[in-house]
A and B are shown apart, each in its own frame.
Chain A
Amino acid sequence: MRRVLALIRKEFLQLRRDRRLLPILFVAPVLQLTLLGYAATTDLRDVPIVVCDLAGCPASRDLVAAITASGDFRVRAWVEAPAAIDAYLDRGRAELAVILPADFGRRLAAGQSAAVQVLVDGTRVNAGLALSQLSGAVAHHAGRLVQQRVARSGSHQPVPSVSVVCRVWYNPELSSRNFMVPGVLALVLMVVTTVVTSMAVVRERETGTIEQIIVSPLRPVHLIAGKLVPYALIGLLEIVLVLTVAWWWFRVPLRGSLSLLVVLSALFMLNAQGLGLLISTVSHTQQQAMMTAVFFVILPMMLLSGFAFPIENMPPAVQQVTYLLPLRYYLIIVRGIFLKGVGWAELWPQAVALLGFGTGILGLAVARFRKRLG
């Protein structure tokens, strides 16, 4: 025990000596979460559109007003001829173009169907959502026109129809920020901790100080524990910091238990640090450790964990792979506790998975290190 304590003290001394590391470990996560928390939104807001109104009548202007009413779309420019639209879409200055034909008002007045042409820049990431929202706005407007027609014709006969009344749970204002900020929080925690621990052991190997540790009476378990404890303490402080930012700055509602969130966050942290240490024990140089950490741990976690890309859209084989990513479980936990207010009853499978992975990874790191010594 005394040996482990001595190693922990040595690690802390080394951490303090590096003038840049500690500030980065504490300031960077907060800064990143604040900045990226604002970035991570999939909401449509002020999507620029260009309108070519060949009709120029009250009816066509009504339709454009109906499209922009929700704030999803904003008219970037009005053009005279359809040919002028190319420049806007090519340069990315507008995402959609709406073309109202010259006979738009006439056909409407005659009770015929008028077609509105919509051009979409298919290279945009949210093109599908934008098109569906715009079509919905037009359809709603059309529904109102039908009602007006029926009212004018004076018939009060009911029309067979079905309508869907939707109730949105957990996030009634449908703000994607509430969903994304907990995700960014998890991502930032994962990156910061994996990176710092992935260098912890291999650095000693590169600088040659590992031999001194090997000849000391420290056992592999002691060494891993001594490396882990200082980073775990720093990690706990980081958890508190980023949770504060999410809750106090971004006002993400915390509906579940804070203590459960902190405990499970610490469990996730153990996984991230265990992965870092494992990388560190199998690498020969810090460059190798960096590449392994980036390409085999951080990138898969960023892209495949369900942070931005829905797991259910992935091919079945890849979906199986995602079960190997601790971040997958932690995202369900952090979003569940924040937004749904769920507790132990719903989250125990995720907690068990994190516990299993965490002990497995740390055990592997110790075993790898023992083999190296022999």
Chain B
Amino acid sequence: MLERIAAIATKEARQIRRDPRTLALLILLPALMLVLYGYALNFDVKHIRVAVLDQDHSDASRLFADGLFQSEYFARAGCLEDSAEAEAWLDAGRGRAVLVIPRGFGADTAEEQPAVVQALVAGDNANAAHLTLGYLDGLARYCSQRWQHERAQRHGRPAPVAPVQVEPRVWYNPTLASSQSLLPGLIGFLLMVIGAVATSLSVVREKERGTLEQLMVSATRPAEFVVGKVTPYLLIMLLTEALILVVARALFGVPLRGSPGWLLAASVVYLLGGLGVGLLISTIADTQQVAFQIAALVTMLPSMLLSDLVFPIASMPLALQQVTWLVPARHFIAILRGLMLKGAGPSAWGRPLLVLVVFAATVFGVATQRLARSLRGT
């Protein structure tokens, strides 16, 4: 049996080597992609483009607006004259918010009366709008506190104290840089995509070319065929992953706080799952066109959207949260975050790892069965 597996694996390896361009792409592309996307992507909303519509034209209003742009969260994107211009400005998508300082602002602050400013916020991107609202609110609070402080000092009274203050401490990722949480996610995503790309055409190609019939008449059993086919790809993928991890460590400073041994084990299981999905797709599809279509729909979009990579699973409807259990990337990303960033023990990533084992075993079982059936059928 081992002999036959080795023969299939050798044949597959030879076929891979014959197409060096594809092989190089399989190994190098994911690491290159990680470099590009690791630099390009982040959620840290900074330099929000804000225009000022100053109806007061006083020193106080100018001072207040300048204070806004001293924080790195806001960038001055222009001065507007009237509300019609503000509307056109937001409609054209030239910025996220317009700060309106109404007439009388300077007089109110001079008389130490409560003053009100208005902000028009484009809400189409709800996430950015939420953060914009939060920053504006915090800024107004900070300003009020300073004024009250100054007044108390002028009158020789003790400064008022804020009754409750928040002392935040961020664990695992002290600067709260979103790239640190995104990188493990990107790694999981890229590995799933490349795994499915590698194998989803493998069987169906032989079907289309008719070489699968040769297999039928040979003595190889479907399980041996599957193992032989996947082994070379698994070795290539491990190389791919090693490169990716080196990039993550060297360029982005993503730490590995947990056990490297368990990381390797989890990676093997996850890669097997990804290759298995590709193989299963390959046994289902009749043409490579269909195989590609299924692979794109089953692996790419869910691995990005249902895996906690960009959209937090906790915010999804409950029924959909259950569906995400079927997405292997979700579990692998949880393991990666646990092992790399948190340095947590098995209690943190044991269950996701178990799910991945079950997943890999299931897809291989079903793929073998389907292959056996199509071999009998042809």
Contacts and interface: CB of A to CB of B under 8 A. Distances in A.
A83 B29 CA distance: 44
A184 B122 CA distance: 20
Question: Which secondary structure dominates chain A's binding surface?
Answer: helix
A50 to B, nearest CB: 13
Contacts of B78: none
Task: Tell me which of B19, B184, B310, B341 has the highest count of chain A C-beta atoms within 10 A of its own C-beta.
Answer: B310
A163 interface: yes
Given A42-B315, A288-B21, A166 B136 contact: yes
Interface string B272-297: 00000000000011111110111111
B134 A92 contact: no
B300 A142 contact: no
Contacts of B288: 199, 203, 206, 286-287, 290
B170 interface: yes
Contacts of A259: none
A145 interface: yes
Interface string A152-171: 00000011111111111111
Interface stretch (B173-181, B213-221, B241-249, B262-270): B173-181
Given A203-B289, A286-B288, A335-B124, A108 B43 contact: no
A136 B128 CA distance: 16
A164 B119 contact: yes
Identify the interface centre among A35, A47, A312: most chain B CB within 10 Å of its CB: A312
Contact of B116 (A43, A127, A162, A288): A162
Interface string B17-43: 001011001100100010011011111
Contacts of B107: none
Per DSSP, are chain B's interface residues mostly helix, strand or loop, or mixed?
helix
Nearest to A161: B144
B114 A163 contact: yes
A288 B22 contact: yes
A176 interface: yes
A291 to B, nearest CB: 6
B51 interface: no
A274 B36 CA distance: 25
A298 B39 CA distance: 18
B292 A199 contact: yes
A77 B292 CA distance: 45
B309 A129 contact: no
Nearest to A349: B92
Contacts of A3: none
B325 interface: no
A232 interface: no
Given A167-B119, A314-B40, A39 B290 contact: no
B45 interface: yes
A24 B294 contact: yes
Contact of A38 (B21, B121, B167, B316): B316
A206 to B, nearest CB: 8
B39 A118 contact: no
A251 B285 CA distance: 35
Interface string A180-206: 000010011001100110111001001
B197 interface: yes
Contacts of A92: 334, 337-338, 348
B172 A122 contact: yes
B42 A313 contact: yes
A46 B200 CA distance: 38
A90 B310 CA distance: 20
Contact of A162 (B92, B114, B124): B114
Given A139-B166, A166-B118, A207-B208, 10 more contacts: A42-B127, A134-B166, A138-B164, A161-B115, A162-B116, A162-B147, A163-B117, A286-B289, A291-B25, A314-B41
22 contacts: A18-B287, A20-B285, A24-B293, A36-B301, A39-B316, A42-B127, A90-B345, A95-B314, A112-B161, A113-B165, A125-B43, A159-B114, A163-B114, A166-B133, A168-B122, A169-B123, A174-B123, A179-B125, A191-B300, A291-B197, A309-B40, A309-B43
